Every structure is written in structure tokens, then in C-alpha cells.
């Protein structure tokens, strides 16, 4: 018998296609930049889902405070946007191989975790967005598809962020002068 007071909360979510027109999903393509205006400017946890014959094969999960701006950066990456350039190149290769690269956003079934209310409307809070991004990354460990995120190891992610925020640390890391 399940004791409701001692039961663990269960976070339910689903990935939903971003549509550019009624029922037409937004896909990475050579002409997608002209369609980016159809994407909402709202905060979101999103994923690029790579399908082979309608079977999910690879994903990249991210979060943003402005979905339209973030997707535009993937489609037209600047010289210093290394992740955007890497994914743009991969996605172009995938579409040449006749794979489908589709944009999806996270939809959360409302739930309380302790005293924090989680729902789609709360994704405007950067901490909730980052928590849900990390939750979906952790949850993806049990799936059958490849993750395109550069590293899923939280320690490595923190290290990379510290190096990005502190160029002197990066200098020492490159020369093997740190732990």
C-alpha cells in the first residue's frame, strides 16, 4: 500500500514540437532562418531532436530566456559561439543524410516540489529553467538515444563554466598548471 505522505513526487513532462504553422513542426534546414519569426520569444527548456525514419536517435537539450533569439543563434552562429557552430555543422550533416532535426520544447505537468511550484509559466525563472534542463539531462540517462550535449558530467560542466568566466584559469588549464 502506498503511503501518500512518504511518497516521492513524480515529475511528469513531455516534449512538444514547436510549430511554425498549424501542425507543421519547426525543423533545422537550409531555409529555416526565414521561418524563425514563427518561434515564440518566451523562456523555454528546449531540445533539438534528431530522427531517423521517425525514430529518435540523438538530442541536444538546452534552456533559454528567449527561444526565438536562441534558435536564431543556432541557425546563424557567430565566430565565438562554439556550441552553436558545432551543432549547426552536425545538423547540416544530418539533413544531408536525410535525418530530421526538429525543435521541441518541454511541457511540465504542474507539481509542487517541496514548496516550489513547477509549471510551464515558471520557466521565466532562470533557476527553474536550469533545474528542469538538468533534470531532463539526468533523466535522459535511461534512454536509447545519443546526447549531443558536449559533456553531461556536472563537474566538467562547472569546470568549463569557470574557465569561460575566468580566462586566467583557462590559461593555467591549457598548460597543465592546475589539478
Q: Is the same domain home to 94 and 107? A: yes
Dihedral angle at the C-alpha atoms of 56, 59, 62, 64, nearest 10 degrees? -50
| CB-CB contact of 22 with 49 (8 Å) | no
160: domain range?
151-179
Give the three-state DSSP class for 100: strand
CA 111 to chain CA centroid, nearest Å: 21
Give the per-residue pLDDT at 1: 41
Q: For the whole model, what pTM was predicted?
A: 0.79
Residue 42 lies in a domain: yes
| CB-CB contact of 32 with 75 (8 Å) | yes
Q: Is the same domain home to 81 and 24? A: yes
Residue 1 lies in a domain: no
Q: Is the same domain home to 160 and 92? A: no
Residues of the chain with pLDDT under 50: 1-2
Total structural domains within the chain:
2
Residue 4 lies in a domain: no
Cα 177 to Cα 34: distance, rounded to the nearest angstrom: 47
Cα 114 to Cα 118: distance, rounded to the nearest angstrom: 10
Q: Is the same domain home to 68 and 132? A: yes
Residue 63 pairs in a beta bridge with: 45
Q: Is the same domain home to 132 and 101? A: yes
Give the per-residue pLDDT at 146: 84
Residue 122 lies in a domain: yes
Amino acid at each position: 500500500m502506498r503511503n501518500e505522505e512518504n511518497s516521492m513526487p513524480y515529475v511528469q513532462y513531455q516534449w512538444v514540437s514547436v510549430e511554425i504553422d498549424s501542425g507543421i513542426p519547426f525543423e533545422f534546414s537550409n531555409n529555416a532562418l526565414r521561418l524563425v519569426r514563427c518561434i515564440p520569444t518566451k523562456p523555454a527548456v528546449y531540445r533539438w531532436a534528431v530522427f531517423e525514419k521517425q525514430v529518435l536517435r540523438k538530442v541536444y537539450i538546452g534552456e533559454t530566456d528567449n527561444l526565438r533569439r536562441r534558435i536564431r543563434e543556432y541557425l546563424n552562429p557567430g565566430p565565438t559561439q562554439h556550441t552553436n557552430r558545432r551543432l549547426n555543422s552536425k545538423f547540416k550533416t544530418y539533413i544531408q543524410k536525410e535525418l530530421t532535426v526538429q525543435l521541441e520544447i518541454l511541457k511540465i505537468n504542474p507539481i509542487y516540489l517541496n514548496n516550489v511550484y513547477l509549471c510551464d509559466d515558471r520557466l521565466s525563472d532562470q533557476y527553474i529553467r536550469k533545474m528542469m534542463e538538468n533534470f531532463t539531462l539526468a533523466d535522459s540517462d535511461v534512454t536509447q538515444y545519443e546526447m549531443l550535449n558536449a559533456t553531461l558530467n556536472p563537474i566538467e560542466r562547472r569546470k568549463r563554466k569557470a574557465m569561460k568566466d575566468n580566462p586566467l584559469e583557462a590559461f593555467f588549464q591549457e598548460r597543465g598548471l592546475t589539478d
